[in-house]
Amino acid sequence: LYPAGSNLVLYPLDQKTQKFIPVSEMGDSISAISLSLNKKFLAIAERGVNSTMPLVVIYDLVTMRRKKVLQISEGDSKEIVSLCMSCDAKYVVTQTGAPDWTLTYWNWEKGKILGSVRSSNVNNAPVTHVSFNPHDITQVCVTGDGIFKLYRYSEGMVKQFGFQKIEVKTIHCHSWLSEDRVAVALDEGQIFLFESGEHKATFNIFESESEISKKTSILSLLSYSKGFAYGTSHGIIGLFERTEDKELYRKSREFKLKEDNVKITSLALSPSEDNLICGLETNQMYAISLSNVDIKAEELQMDLVAQPFHHGQITGLDTCLRKPLIVTCSNDRSVRLWNYLDNSIELVKYFPEEAYSVALHPSGLLMLVGFNDKLRLMNILIDDIRPYKEFTIRGCRECRFSNGGQYFAAVHGNTIQIFSTWTFENIGNLKGHNGKVRSVYFSSDDSRIISAGMDGAVYDWSMKDLKRDGENVLKSCSYTCAIASPDGHSLFAVGSDKMIKEIKDSQIVKEIESDVVLTQVVMSHSGKMMFGG
């Protein structure tokens, strides 16, 4: 289970298929998730639409149906920073963010709040993690920036108990090790062990103090039958196992991920405890086999759980007409080629600078990539993406091949430049927009180009004489996308006014209102379906 955009993805490792749970109509994005111990119920914390109050949606994973919605109705907090389901799957605790920092204890089946308390300190420090005691559903642990608190629910009230006598620093996360022991992760490679609220021991993941130890934070903790595992801000994973002597726990294994200095933000263990899954700040997930205890750290098998995803915002996307390929670019400076039939990645290419836009040739053998300094035409090889021709178009944020592949269009400021794919000749320039051009679209027969801009103009250009055949200007709307129907009789445009507009003969003939601002629309080849985002 992992969040991706405004969806939660269920990804069975053996089947390698995906199921999606979208956010509810009242939700905007996912801020936290929690799975019940019996794997039957899933709690998803959602930020409210348009900064309204946050909510929790409970799903039955057997039927994939929504069971309950818990709405936060009081306070000024806009998100739930952490939540947890009890071991018997009957209760949920939620922790809201600033400025309230309210811990709430729910009977989720009845949709009833049993008790709540403000969990931050006098400095209004952030709270980052809450969890139930897996052996006692009335106990809850709360940690954050200089915060370590234990709460007990009793007689309709949530009260703190076990006040610690040691000053705690920034705590990134915690994990219950037994019914009265909690391990908390701190900066400088330290783990504190508390027993019944009292500080019992301190573990250092580094044997001696060094520069890296001072800069290393432990960001994830996970308890298991033999002890606990940790993940750090420098890509290190380690295991502590329980001992019978006064040390209580001793480090047994440690290994480093292949990616350099990457933050390990979450850990999960398979029921058999043979496979450890770690989630990274770079949006990747690795599966690590722990079945062979004698294997050396450098020989340990580490496999990507799914695909090597982008770890930055995706800024460009295009599909291929004749092959099952998708190309994406991102501000992580990479361009990636995907196969959507077998859900695999074909190629990954990193560049010295960020790519702003991409376009795939219908043959699947060429691509355009827009960079800050130039637009580059590239060959797609078996194991590489190699530059072939450069064009002096700076900061190209929109480019597109024609459906036949003989032309391509590239946006240069307010101008659209048309080139021959085979001779590289600049056939002509389309001028007329007074603002940035945000969309370029070839009609199905490549006889026309549809463009839309931030100036509120949608233009219909003829490829024969490179002149405007039609226009519609609405200065109150900044357009981000315009397309043509397969028969070319209608244009459809979206922009800042939340309306989908149908344009015929330069006139708006129909408008459909959306509840959100749509930035892109596409139409099926049959012309019967339209998708917006």
Question: Distance between alpha carbon 258 and the CA centroid of its chain, in Å?
Answer: 21
**Mean pLDDT to the nearest integer, 429-441:** 95
Strands 334-339 and 344-350: antiparallel
From 337, 343, 393, 328, select the one nearest 365 (Cα to Cα): 337
Instruction: Give the end of a domain, one of 137, 161, 185.
Output: 161
448 contacts 491 by C-beta, under 8 angstroms: no
Asked if residue 171 belongs to a domain, the reply is no
From 319, 341, 335, 424, select the one nearest 385 (Cα to Cα): 335
358 contacts 375 by C-beta, under 8 angstroms: no
Q: Which of 150-154, 194-198, 409-413 has the lowest mean pLDDT?
A: 194-198
pLDDT band at 164 (very low <50, low <70, confident <90, very high): low
Does the pLDDT value for residue 298 go beyond 90?
Answer: no
CA-CA-CA-CA torsion for 171, 174, 180, 181, nearest 10 degrees?
-80
Beta bridge partners of 494: 481, 500
Strand 136-144's sheet: what is its strand order? 127-133, 136-144, 147-154, 157-161
d(CA 478, CA 497): 8
Joined tokens for residue 137:
């559903």
Average pLDDT over the chain reads 90
From 335, 425, 417, 407, select the one nearest 378 (Cα to Cα): 335
Residues 6+ apart with CB under 8 A from 86: 92, 93, 132, 137
Measured in Å, how far apart are the chain's first and last C-alpha atoms?
A: 24
Number of H helices, E strands in the chain: 1, 49
Asked if residue 142 belongs to a domain, the reply is yes
Q: What is the CATH number of the domain that holds 83?
A: 2.130.10.10
- Cβ-based burial of 255 (10 A; exposed 0-12, middle 13-18, buried ≥19): middle
Instruction: Give the end of a domain, one of 118, 136, 161.
Output: 161
| Coil vs helix vs strand at 213 | helix
Residues 6+ apart with CB under 8 A from 403: 321, 362, 442, 444, 445, 446
Does the pLDDT value for residue 295 go beyond 70?
Answer: no
- The pLDDT of residue 228 is 94
**Mean pLDDT to the nearest integer, 483-487:** 95
212 contacts 234 by C-beta, under 8 angstroms: yes
- The pLDDT of residue 46 is 94
Buried-state track 387-413, b at ≥16 Cβ within 10 A, e below 16? eeeebebeebbbbbbbeebebbbbbbe
Does the pLDDT value for residue 199 go beyond 60?
Answer: yes
Q: Which domain holds residue 136?
A: 1-161
Q: Which of 3-7, 44-48, 326-330, 408-412 has the lowest mean pLDDT?
A: 3-7
Asked if residue 327 belongs to a domain, the reply is yes
Instruction: Give the end of a domain, one of 161, 180, 195.
Output: 161
Asked if residue 459 belongs to a domain, the reply is yes
The DSSP symbol for 158 reads: E
In the block, which residue shows the tokens 């922009």? Answer: 495
- The pLDDT of residue 214 is 63
Asked if residue 350 belongs to a domain, the reply is yes
Task: Quickly count: other Cβ atoms within 10 Å of residue 340's Cβ.
Answer: 12
- Tally the C-alpha atoms within 13 A of residue 421's C-alpha that lie toward its C-beta: 22
Task: Quickly count: other Cβ atoms within 10 Å of residue 357's Cβ.
Answer: 22
- Amino acid letter at 48? G
Number of domains within the chain? 2
Asked if residue 215 belongs to a domain, the reply is no
- The pLDDT of residue 296 is 67
Does the pLDDT value for residue 167 go beyond 80?
Answer: no
Buried-state track 219-240, b at ≥16 Cβ within 10 A, e below 16? bbbbbbeebbbbbbbbbbbbbb
Asked if residue 229 belongs to a domain, the reply is no
**Mean pLDDT to the nearest integer, 190-211:** 82
- The pLDDT of residue 524 is 92
| E-strand stretches of 435-477 | 437-442, 448-453, 457-462, 468-473
Instruction: Give 379-406 as a DSSP string.
Output: EE-SS-EEEEEEE--TT---EEE-TTSS
Joined tokens for residue 294:
């004698």
pLDDT band at 179 (very low <50, low <70, confident <90, very high): very high
d(CA 220, CA 278): 9
d(CA 343, CA 340): 5
Asked if residue 250 belongs to a domain, the reply is no
pLDDT band at 220 (very low <50, low <70, confident <90, very high): very high
For 301-355, how does the pLDDT look when each residue is reduced to its tens digit (9 = 90+)? 677 777 788 888 899 999 999 999 999 999 999 999 999 998 889 999 999 999 9
